Structure 1
């Protein structure tokens, strides 16, 4: 089994396109269509407009966050710096024992965790 894709529904497509057009290439995704990015393993992220304006609620029903892992602490730091330089508001990287994670919210608040765990 392999994950195939995720569809993210955005309340403001323009703001979300700016966000994901910066974030996803920094993580190694390539834009394949107007609002679809693909990773080398075929996994795709598809951004589409939401039909309702219900905002994300971290502990409400639905997706809390989704996560990608990187191979080193330096890679995590480099991605965070590249996103800052590109103008995204990047929160501090959190530590969980030896593991470190960056929880990056999109314009609607849906968070992507970029994680490094040496264990």
Structure 2
């Protein structure tokens, strides 16, 4: 068995689509809209991994501050292939004004990673 996709409710669908396309080389499928449910989404495809569904529906509450941990799904990790790429992408996030909430490091369980927030506060581990 494997994870087919993860889904995130978002406030700004187009901003979030372009964010994941730009930084993580995702490819967005066709925009889906269900007028009856006032629901819109994109499926984003990554090389060699599960897809990410970005979903929008007006009136949903926001998540807590992404820099703080809370109950529920905490983060997802994106493998970028090398320490150098982890470092470079982390610096690109910082340069572009995105929050870096975990500096590049080797964790106690052996991962080399950093942690950044997407524009809506979702935690993303960038790892090898």
Give the alignment's TM-score, normalised by structure 2.
0.67
Does residue 31 of structure 1 match 2:28? yes
Structure 1 residues not aligned, in runs of 5+ = none
How many residues get paired? 112
Q: CA deviation at 1:104?
A: 1.4
Moved over 6 A (4+): none
Q: Deviations over 1:61-116 (max 9, x none)?
A: 2111111223321121233345556x352526331356432211112211110113
In the alignment, the residues of structure 2 paired with residue 77 and residue 42 of structure 1 have an alpha-carbon distance, to the nearest angstrom, of 21
Task: Give the CA RMSD over aligned residues.
Answer: 2.7
Residue of structure 2 aligned with 1:65, choices 67, 75, 100: 75
Kindly name which structure, 1 or 2, has the bigger radius of gyration based on alpha carbons: 2
* Alignment check: 8 A CA contact 2:86 2:104 kept: no
Give the alignment's TM-score, normalised by structure 1.
0.71
Structure 2 residues not aligned, in runs of 5+ = 32-41
